Structures are given as C-alpha cells and as structure tokens.
Chains A and B, each alone.
Chain A
Amino acid sequence: MNKWLPPYLLNGPALVIFTVMLVVPMVMTLILSFNSFDFYGGIQADDYGWHNYLEVVKDSYFHEIFARTYGIAVAVTLICALIGAPEAYILNRMSKTWRSVCLLAILGPLLISVIVRTLGWALLIGNNGVINEMLLGIGLIETPLKMMFTTGGIVVALVHVLVPFMVLSVWTTLQKLDPQVESAALSLGASHFVTLRRVVLPQVMPGVLAGSLIVFALTASAFATPAILGGRRLKVVATTAYDEYLNTLNWPLGAAIAVILLIANVVVVMSYNRYVERKYAAVFD
C-alpha cells in the first residue's frame, strides 16, 4: 500500500469538515466580493470587477470605520498587556488556594455567553445604568455620563473578556522562569523594582507579545460587543459587513469588506509574528 495513503485517510474526516465548513464559504465569499450589485436588480450574476474594493478604498466613510476598528484593537491590546502582565505576575506568586480562586475570577468572563456579558455591561454603563444612577444619587454629576455607544465603552467591555488570554499567555512564560535568576539580580544589588523591570519583564516579553497577538486578532474581528455597545451609528468593520449583508442587502460589498478585514488581520498578525520570532530567536529556545 502507498505509505502516504494512511495519513491522508486518517485526516480525511477532518479535511472534509474543514473544506465544507471553511474553505467553501471563504471561496464563495471571495467570489461574491467581485460581483457587482444593483439596487433594483440585486446581484449581477456574470458581472465581475474590482469596484467593491475600490468603493471601500476610496470612501472616507469606510476609512473612518477601519481606523476606528484598529484604534480599538490597539487600545484593547495595550490595556490588556498593562493589566494582564502584572496580574499574571501576582498570580504566579500567590499560594495555591488563592491562585485557584483568582484564576476562576479571571477566567469567569469566558464562561458567560458573550451576549449576556455585553448586556450586563449595557446595564452597568447605560444612561439609566447602575453607574450613572449611583453617581447621580450621590450628587457627583448632574447629567448622566455618556458611556454607552462610545468607543470607550466598547474598549472596556472587550478588555474584560480578552484579558484572560493575556494573563494565561504571560503566566505560562512566567512559570518557565528560574526563580534563582531573580535572586541573582537581587544579590548583584538590584532593587525589587529594577529586578522586575530589567530581569523579569524582558523574559516574559515573548508571553506578552503572544498574548497581544491573540487579543489583537480577536478585537479586530469582534462582532457582538461592538454591535450591542456601539449601537447603529458607532460601527466597526465586522458590524459594517453585517449591515451591508442584512440591511442594505448589498452582499458583494459586505463580502469585500469582510475579505479586506481578513487580509488586513493576516498581514498584521504575520508580520508581527515574524518580528517577534526574529527578535527573540537569538535569546530563547
């Protein structure tokens, strides 16, 4: 028997599912994105061209949406790194019991459905939400603070759900550290803070960068949270594609937006990964 056959047979079921569920829809979306569209006639079957892409590239309306999406992604990634890395460090130093408790609290957001969690945030930050009612009640403000339907609100809610990915990623690298390396820095006269900055942080940097990659990719393509907390007007790329499909019924344009988002994400993630690998190849195994 051909020695290549068994591996292919074993992979068969997975390959079939992968092809049917992922490759086919992607290719169909790609083809669709080149179709032209007419408001009265719908999708023009045999008319292909670059016009959907040109429309997205030329229209400042879409520029703003893409800029907002990547702005949110960068902000969420930075905040997750700033919160997640220290969190992981503290977690790593805790006693076993406390660590389990805190880990559960950190992973908690992942256990709740994204819709429920986001609606929870809406209850909290809405104009008649808990926070505003409270601040009004104690007289700190006179008109409700606008937090719902703002980029800030979206960023906060996304950080909430994505920070566990950062914590876990940093924590794994922390566990590989030799505690004696910290002792060595202390014995050479470094203060605790300098040890943290000069010795611990550079060593967990690969973990921070890997976590950033996950957080960035998930934020850039996030849908439910921006849809609920951003409302109709504050759009990101994913919600715009959705609206083109379901409201305007301009499927080809929606497909083109989705394809651009995908390509942009792949480019960012790949070049970032390349950079990280090159930077640390000489230092770590």
Chain B
Amino acid sequence: MSFLTLQNISKRYGQFTAVEDFNLSVEKGEFVSFLGPSGCGKTTTLQMIAGFEEPTMGTIHIDGNDMTHVSPNARDIGIVFQSYALFPHMTVAENVAFGLEMRRINKPERHQRVMETLELVRLADFADRFPKALSGGQRQRVALARAIVIKPQLLLLDEPLSALDAKIRESMQIELRHIQNTVGVTTILVTHDQAEAMAMSDRIAVMNMGRMARLGEPFEIYENPGDSFTSNFLGSTNLFQGKVSSVNGNEVSVDCSGTEVRVQGTSETGAAVSVAIRPEKIGLVEPGLGFFDAQVRTRIFLGTSWAYQMDSDLGAFNVSLQNTGHRAAGEGEAVGISWQADAVGLLAEG
C-alpha cells in the first residue's frame, strides 16, 4: 500500500467546488509536485492533507492510518508555508527547536539536532538571529529546517520558493532536492511554476479547476501531455487545428488549412483535432524543402537560444532554436518548416 493515499477527495465552499474527486497515491520517499494555474485548488488539497481543512468527501490515509479527521497537531507533518510563517519573537535556533520541544525531546539532543539541521541548510552561523534580520532566502531555509528537524513522515511545501528571485530560486531548488534526498522524506510541493515542478519532482500532478488533469513523471507528461491544457501548461506548445482527412493504420493525415500534416495516433476521418508540436522540436530548412513554408515575423536572441515568431498559412506559431554559434534566419526571411515524424502529437479537440 502507498504511503499517502487520497481517495475521492472533494472540497466544497458552499456552492463552489474547490477540489473535486481527487485521487493520488504517493510512495514513501517520493517527491510529488502539484502543478496548476492560480485558483485550481492546490493549496486547498495541501491544507486537507495537513488537516487545516476538512474534506467534504473522501478519505486521506497516511501510512495505512485513516487521517481524514485527525487534528493537524497529531499528524506528524512538516509544513513550509508560502509566507514562511516563522515565529517572529523567537531566534532562528528557537524556531527550529520548537517542534522538538513539543515532542519533549531533552535539551542536549534538541540542541544537537537543531545545529545539525541548521548545518544542513547552511544557517549555523545565524542561529541567534531573529527572523526580522534575515533575507528572504534565509527565512525560507529556516522554515525548511523547522519543518524537517522533527523528522516528519511527510513534508508539505506550499510555493516555498515563489518569493525568491530567479537566481536564488534555482539554487534553492537544487538545495531542496538535495536535502530531500538526504533526509529521504516523502514530499509534496505545490507550485505554479512548471520549470520548478519539472526540475524537482519524481512525479507531477497537473491540476486544472479542482481536478487532476494529468499525473506522471516529468519527462513522460512533457512528451505525452494527453490534453491541450496540460500540453500548454507544461512549456509552450503550438497547436494547429484541422480535420482528419484520412486514417492509415497508425498514421493519421490531418488537413490544417489546406496543408497536409501526418501524425502518429488514432482517430476517425472527419474528426476535428489539433496537431501539437513544441517550439524546440521544429527545425528550419531552405524554403520549399520543408513540410510547408513560413515567414519570420520576429526574432529574439535569448543567449542559449533564438525565439522566433512565424507566420504561415496554418496560422502563427513559435520556434525555439538552439544557438549553435551560426547566424540564424533573420526577420522577414522565408524559411521551410520541418520536424521529426515523432515530434508531433495528436490532441482531440475539446
């Protein structure tokens, strides 16, 4: 049996349904991210796991025990809140020691574990400071230390990195993943940043409007998003709308505004579908040599890559090209568009 199981969880506020029929099983030591747009119910789900909200329906099991109606202080869960929620009147060391005190751990051991954990988050020199005198990144690490020092069965992180700037965030992501590996605690991370979810998780649960849209390993759901919401939410995707003109075994021909596009998949002739391709999987060739021609509308240099916006008979779309040190096609030029056969996906229209 899985370590954490959410079964048919729903949460209603009056008429409004914040979370609906949510199912998830998390293995021990696994790192799972909840990813979704603002208001999709990520925090609500996390609060139900933590015990601050009670589900309207469904059950929550942790390590085989029914925890659905157990109060938060009896769940043995470490939480890092979005606002960090440090105790402002306690020093860093006192903050971290609080959970151990509640567990009646004697002073010498308490001190030792606090210092070990502060060492782990590289804050040992700040033990006697008050939270007020810390930077955002340091506060975040105190919050993390406070949550992991109690060696919880489960660690919940609610957008812990959202207040940090891009550089610190990246290093904190690596650090957080490293700490999670070291401690080996089962972790759930809430985020609306897809890159963060990709970088850190064993599995990602993509949420949309209170429901789970897709669950899987980062690479798997990036490559096979399954629906256009997930596809668009995980990085950007170009969608060409069209109608299936013929089906030939495993290969479908789609008529996109007069251009024939071949895709692997199954469908029926006449069905309305979308052909999806990620910007980085499109290649530029000489005009006339590709599947169709397009014209460069704008070109932006991003350092590691070029970002193109293209115009074509199929509509506007984006291309992202690695910067290989050669001069790339300029604005206004005509180019041919090509891709590997397995780079395109077929999404049912809906």
Contact = CB atoms under 8 A, between A and B. Distances in A.
Given A188-B99, A188-B150, A189-B103, A183 B85 contact: yes
Given A178-B83, A283-B89, A284-B88, A187 B50 contact: yes
B292 interface: no
Contacts, number: 72
Contacts of B78: 187-188
Nearest to A202: B89
B88 A180 contact: no
Given A189-B99, A283-B132, A284-B132, A184 B79 contact: yes
A264 interface: no
A194 interface: yes
**Residue from A183, A187, A198, A283 having most chain B Cβ neighbours under 10 A:** A187
B340 interface: no
Given A186-B72, A189-B103, A180 B81 contact: yes
A180 B75 CA distance: 17
Nearest to A203: B89
Interface in B77-112: 77-79, 81-83, 85-89, 98-99, 102-103
Interface size band for B: 20 to 34
A199 interface: yes
Interface string A160-175: 0000000000000000
Contacts of A44: none
Given A189-B99, A189-B150, A284-B132, A184 B81 contact: yes
Contacts of A198: 98
Contacts of B133: 282
A191 interface: yes
A38 interface: no
Interface string B104-136: 000000000000000000000000001011000
B342 to A, nearest CB: 46
Interface in A18-77: none
A189 B147 CA distance: 11
Contacts of B130: 282-283
A187 B79 contact: yes
A197 B317 CA distance: 60
A184 B85 contact: yes
Interface string B255-296: 000000000000000000000000000000000000000000
Contacts of B83: 178, 180
A32 B273 CA distance: 98
A208 to B, nearest CB: 13
Contacts of B103: 189
Contacts of B89: 202-203, 205, 283-284
Interface in A172-228: 178, 180-181, 183-191, 194, 198-199, 202-203, 205
Interface in B52-70: 52
Contacts of A142: none
A188 B88 CA distance: 16
Contacts of A190: 73, 98, 102
Contacts of A203: 87-89
A185 B78 CA distance: 10
Contact of B88 (A187, A191, A283): A283
A188 B156 CA distance: 12
Nearest to A187: B79
Contacts of B75: 187
Given A183-B81, A283-B130, A283-B132, A189 B102 contact: yes
Contacts of A186: 52, 71-73
B319 to A, nearest CB: 44
Contacts of A282: 130, 132-133
Among A181, A184, A205, A284, max chain B CB count under 10 A is at A184
B98 A188 contact: yes
Given A181-B86, A181-B87, A188 B81 contact: no
A189 to B, nearest CB: 4
A187 B73 contact: yes
Contacts of A188: 73, 78, 98-99, 102, 146, 150
A149 to B, nearest CB: 44
Contact of B87 (A189, A199, A205, A285): A199
A181 B83 CA distance: 9
Interface of A: 178, 180-181, 183-191, 194, 198-199, 202-203, 205, 282-285
Interface of B: 50, 52, 71-79, 81-83, 85-89, 98-99, 102-103, 130, 132-133, 146, 150
Given A180-B81, A190-B73, A203-B89, 12 more contacts: A178-B85, A180-B82, A180-B85, A181-B88, A184-B79, A184-B81, A184-B87, A185-B87, A187-B72, A187-B78, A188-B98, A189-B150
29 contacts: A180-B81, A180-B83, A180-B85, A183-B72, A183-B79, A183-B85, A184-B85, A184-B87, A185-B98, A186-B52, A187-B50, A187-B75, A188-B99, A188-B102, A188-B146, A189-B73, A189-B150, A190-B98, A190-B102, A194-B102, A198-B98, A203-B87, A203-B88, A203-B89, A282-B133, A283-B88, A284-B88, A284-B89, A285-B132
